[in-house]
Amino acid sequence: MDLILTSADFPPGGPIPAIHTCDGANTSPALSWSGVPPDTRSLVLIVDDPDAPDPAAPKMTWVHWVLYNLPPQTTRLPAAVRDADLPPGTQAGTNDFKNTHYGGPCPPVGRHRYVHKLYALDTVLPDLRHPTKAQLEKAMQGHVRAQAELVGTYQRGR
């Protein structure tokens, strides 16, 4: 069985509703998943934008959300999930907004892709003290048993 990541708020490759962006309430979309391998000890969720700052000439990947050590029995995160309501044991990393919370799409120009990546790990990671995406990916090396991806898009009003 493959690891599958979906959202009730947008279809694969479809537009992310404005409520989940800087033009709305800037709250996280609902995410759910299935097919977690039985030997999974923890899950990691990373949301980033590979099209920053301009999809016509991307220069960097902008990180919007970093969560790790989600319990493997977790199968969803509701829309607008608050830090206090994350599953017990879940830890947050630092995004490119320089905080540990979800930061929604806010592209300066063009239609950007927002890649939601879920990883199943064979270990529980130590407390990495709000790691960046790069630090977390380094800690994950050799421990990824499965991964899934869900892409949504957003373009601000013209």
pTM score over 0.85? yes
CATH of residue 53: 3.90.280.10
Domain span at 150: 4-154
Report pLDDT for 88: 97
CA quadruple 77, 82, 149, 69: dihedral, nearest 10: -80
Question: Which residues does 133 contact at the CB level (< 8 Å), separation at least 6?
Answer: 46, 48, 63, 66, 93, 95
Residue 19, token pair as written in the block: 């409520």
Residue 115, token pair as written in the block: 């890649």
Provide the domain count of the chain.
1
Report pLDDT for 158: 62
> What is the percent of the chain where pLDDT is above 90?
98
User: pLDDT per residue over 122-157, tens digit each?
Assistant: 999 999 999 999 999 999 999 999 999 999 999 998
User: pLDDT per residue over 7-18, tens digit each?
Assistant: 999 999 999 999
Measured CA to CA, the distance from residue 5 to residue 76 in angstroms comes to: 9
